[in-house]
Amino acid sequence: MKLFKYFFTILASLLIFSNISLAEKWDMALAYGAGNFHSANATEFAKNVSEKSDGKLTIVTHPGGSLFKGGEIFRAVRTGQAPIGERFMSALGKEDPLLEIDSQPFLATTYSDAMKLYKASKDEIAKSLESKGLIFLYAVPWPAQGLYSKKEINSVADLKGLKFRAYNSATVRIAELTGMAPTKIEAAEISQAFSTGAVESMITSPTTGKNKKIWENGVKYFYDIAAWFPKNMVIANKDAWDKLDKSTQDLIRKEAALAERKGWQLSKMGNKNDKKALADAGMIVGKVNATLKKHFEEVGATMSKEWAEKAGSRGQKVLSAY
């Protein structure tokens, strides 16, 4: 009888340990503040997965670069330091030129075209990421990118020498082709860069400007040029992914699809509401004149041609599908 009780105790302990070992905790690295719609959307995604996984997986979000800074997140997820994270896609052009496709100026200037471009490129991007040990989960665009400036811009000459915030190779190239002077600045450093005079202009979304209260740093103008719709993507480490059972993987895929759908809607709302917020804060929100518009479109055409040559047959395939 004692032997039976001993055996039963050991068996129960093993079962409990087995259940504990099946439970996974994922720390999710987010570059943007908790109030940003990307972070809020990712937090809801994490909450839904955690609540519906029957205790198998808990995802804890770390916004504002508190776990890893924006520029560190891709490497951290790839190496397994963080099992899941969100990264601005076009900052990773050196990893794969296809990740820059959504930041080619004036290639997609509406949400409809941005979605078509995403659908044309998604499978190829996911395949490339998997070869690097990563699982692509979902992607959400920022609102249309506009031109911010401390001073009024009425001509091509006004762009010359303008200290410009760059965040990827595409924005560096825009600066080169327009005569602006680029400086690489991550999103978390924008306010400091403008307040110290390190930069005086940038191309980014109305959402970023609103969240940073950019008008407090002497930025007076927002030109709604709708240059492109860059995306953030959520990726998972493949080794961590492979440890999950199929039902948990399926749950993550399902919640990722829902987060993607909601994220696109939030982006559309922000595209409208956040431009109004800039205007309400006293900024001058408007369009560039016809001469400047033509100049930017010519820059975009040059960059798209350069990108297609760099991306090779894979890039041509995606562009043809688009």
pLDDT tens digit sequence for 231-263: 999 999 999 999 999 999 999 999 999 999 999
CA distance 265 to 137: 18
pLDDT tens digit sequence for 58-110: 999 999 999 999 999 999 999 999 999 999 999 999 999 999 999 999 999 99
Of the two residues 126 and 15, the one the predictor is more confident about is 126
Tokens 């055409």 belong to residue:
301
* Whether the Cβ atoms of residue 161 and residue 201 lie closer than 8 Å to each other: no
What H or E segment, with its residue span, contains residue 140? strand 134-141
Residue 131 CA from chain centroid, whole number: 20
Predicted pLDDT at 3: 53
Domains of the chain by start residue, with CATH: 2-96+111-141+231-270 (3.40.190.170), 146-228+275-321 (3.40.190.170)
**Percentage of the chain modeled with pLDDT above 70:** 93
The pTM of this model reads 0.85
Q: DSSP for 177-197?
A: HHT-EEEE--GGGHHHHHHTT
Calculate the alpha carbon distances from 96 to 127, 129, 167, 224, 270 in Å. Answer: 11, 9, 16, 29, 29
pLDDT tens digit sequence for 18-43: 444 468 999 999 999 999 999 999 99
Whether the per-residue pLDDT at 15 is higher than 70: the answer is no
Of the two residues 132 and 170, the one the predictor is more confident about is 132
Predicted pLDDT at 17: 46
Predicted pLDDT at 250: 98
Predicted pLDDT at 257: 98
Whether the per-residue pLDDT at 200 is higher than 70: the answer is yes
Tokens 């409208």 belong to residue:
272
What mean pLDDT, rounded, does the chain reach? 93
pLDDT tens digit sequence for 213-231: 999 999 999 999 999 999 9
The alpha helices in the chain, defined as continuous H runs, are 2-22, 37-52, 70-79, 111-131, 169-178, 190-195, 206-211, 238-242, 246-280, 290-321
Residues 6+ apart with CB under 8 A from 87: 31, 70, 73, 74, 77, 232, 233, 235
